[in-house]
Amino acid sequence: MNYILALDQGTTSSRAILFTRDGRVHAQAQHEFEQIYPKSGWVEHDPYAILTSQLTAAVEVLGKSRIRPRDVAAMGITNQRETTIVWNRHTGKPVYNAIVWQDRRTAEFCSQLAAQGASEMVRQRTGLLIDSYFSGTKIRWILDHVEGAREQAERGELAFGTVDSWLIWNLTSGKQHVTDRTNASRTLLYNIVEDRWDAELLRLLDIPESMMPRVIWSSEQVGAVSTTLGLGEIEIAGIAGDQQSALFGQLCLNPGDAKNTYGTGCFLLENIGTDFALSQKQLVTTLTCSLERKLTYAYEGSIFIGGAVVQWLRDNLGLIRHSSDIEALAQTVESSEDLVLVPAFVGLGAPHWDPHAAGLLIGLRRNTQPGHIARAALESIAFQVADVLEAMNQDTSTACKELRVDGGASANNLLMQFQADLLGIPVVRPEVVETTALGAAYLAGLASGFWSSPEEIWKLRDAGHRFEPQLGTQDARARRERWQNAVERSKRWDGA
């Protein structure tokens, strides 16, 4: 068996990637699916669209590679985190659409919980801030607003899962209702100090514990695929939320190692070791993938709109036909000419955490061209990452010395160079930038014996490309001050 199959279920598309023993991409397939916006600030997916797009990609990548399921040693799954699905255990049918991590419908309820004094208790147990970003309040909303859902839940008839749970339930024909610790740690319901679903948190949100999946380690054999959909009986042996998977894919296994993933959002994680600690800068503490089956932690800063700002230029403004066109358009001008775009389309994440912020484009002039807007959009991604890394540096004893990067937008050289310029440290991009999927592959391969150890994997890795800072410190500081000015203007737009 010469391949590992990684399922990478993301916010806007589902991908399947076959990796070879040297960690390189042998083949991949990808299918986008519909984004549903029922109301302002609401974001949903059809759970069956998630499932069918992912299964179609998996079968397609095997078919076009002429790889048989028996040639695949194991399967790893990585997924958009926090996105919430509730389904009936008997029928397997969802009771409502998947509520996506970007969705803000529970923001008011989160404010009520904070006003009641629940914030510190939640933070001490979960490492998280009370925010509609996380799964718990989304489950509560479904139980309160879908007719008959709460009664079914009280009778033990409903199952909750993040996307990994939903996929595995269907891949195993309902035999396995599981999640891993990285996904569990994003729900507002999992005690990451005591390693269990927390009864008091479940009571706080009025959620029956019977809905919760069994929690396993990220690198652990779960069971074989039992569907008859062209995947044979491939063993599922790795599960991780997308950002922890990327952290593992970058082999950030030691305290101080940090990576940023440029996807729909941007997610900066730094390994802080086996001691639980809380950020003083509004970052969250989350569980990472552990091969030793010990709880290990990372600080994380989540940026809600990263690469999605490019999709916005493509789909809403029509400035580009394909996302990959953004770099060429941005290079039609020499600079953004002080045009600043704050993409707070669904509020602001770390380190601001303002669900009431709104997007802002400021600095428009008569000579403003599409290229200026494109460049400001790319720069907005780097500015947000710089804000999070600055907060992270203040939380840890030593400043980050280099930033490892991955995800689709990391292929953009203009963006990566500007990121290095803003941070004043090297930005390192590996040869294989799909480290979210690669991390899931590593986890599955290590659990199944495909690879013997992380040390073996290290020897197979390419050094990648380093972007060294070229902008002077004073210029970088001035650019960031202008950005901060714009961010403050975008906050509390709805009057809250």
- Region 286-307 average pLDDT: 92
Q: Domain 3-243 belongs to what topology? A: Nucleotidyltransferase; domain 5 (3.30.420)
CA distance 31 to 43: 19
Which segments are annotated as binding site?
A: 11-13, 15, 81-82, 133, 242-243, 264, 307, 311, 408, 412
Which segments are annotated as binding site for ATP?
A: 11-13, 264, 307, 311, 408
**CA atoms lying within 13 Å on the CB side of residue 24:** 7
Residue intervals of the chain classified under CATH 3.30.420.40 are 3-243, 251-429+464-496
CA distance 233 to 217: 21
Closest by alpha carbon to 441, among 73, 170, 161? 73
- In the chain, the percentage of residues whose pLDDT exceeds 70 is 99
Is residue 337 within 8 A of residue 365, CB to CB? The reply is yes
> What dotted CATH number matches 251-429+464-496?
3.30.420.40
Is 227 a residue whose pLDDT tops 80?
A: no
pLDDT band at 257 (very low <50, low <70, confident <90, very high): confident
pLDDT band at 28 (very low <50, low <70, confident <90, very high): very high
The predicted-structure confidence for 45-54, as pLDDT tens digits, reads as follows 999 999 999 9
Is 339 a residue whose pLDDT tops 70?
A: yes
pLDDT band at 495 (very low <50, low <70, confident <90, very high): low
Closest by alpha carbon to 98, among 8, 6, 35, 185? 35
Is 462 a residue whose pLDDT tops 80?
A: no
- Region 359-377 average pLDDT: 94
The predicted-structure confidence for 410-452, as pLDDT tens digits, reads as follows 989 999 999 999 999 999 998 887 888 999 999 999 999 999 9
Amino acid at 128: L
Amino acid at 39: K
Is 187 a residue whose pLDDT tops 90?
A: yes
CA distance 45 to 312: 18
Distances from the Cα of 415 to the Cαs of 316, 323, 381, in angstroms?
A: 21, 13, 8
Alpha helices in 346-434 (DSSP H): 370-395, 413-423
Mean pLDDT value across the chain:
92
- Region 194-212 average pLDDT: 96
The predicted-structure confidence for 64-113, as pLDDT tens digits, reads as follows 989 898 899 999 999 999 999 999 999 999 999 999 998 999 999 999 99
Which segments are annotated as binding site for sn-glycerol 3-phosphate?
A: 11, 81-82, 133, 242
| C-alpha radius of gyration, the chain, whole number | 21
Question: Which pLDDT value is given to residue 228?
Answer: 66
Is 494 a residue whose pLDDT tops 80?
A: no
Is residue 185 within 8 A of residue 109, CB to CB? The reply is no
Closest by alpha carbon to 2, among 24, 25, 27, 19? 19
- Region 119-133 average pLDDT: 93
Question: Which pLDDT value is given to residue 162?
Answer: 97
pLDDT band at 496 (very low <50, low <70, confident <90, very high): low
Token pair, residue 103, equals 């969705």
Distances from the Cα of 212 to the Cαs of 32, 51, 79, 121, 187, in angstroms?
A: 29, 20, 18, 21, 10
How many of the other CB atoms lie within 10 Å of CB of 49? 18
Which segments are annotated as binding site for glycerol?
A: 81-82, 133, 242-243
CA distance 319 to 422: 26
Token pair, residue 301, equals 């800063």
Query: Nearest 10 degrees: CA dihedral of 249, 250, 251, 255?
Result: -130
The predicted-structure confidence for 385-421, as pLDDT tens digits, reads as follows 999 999 888 888 777 888 999 888 898 999 999 999 9
Question: Which pLDDT value is given to residue 172?
Answer: 93
Is 1 a residue whose pLDDT tops 80?
A: no
How many of the other CB atoms lie within 10 Å of CB of 66? 8
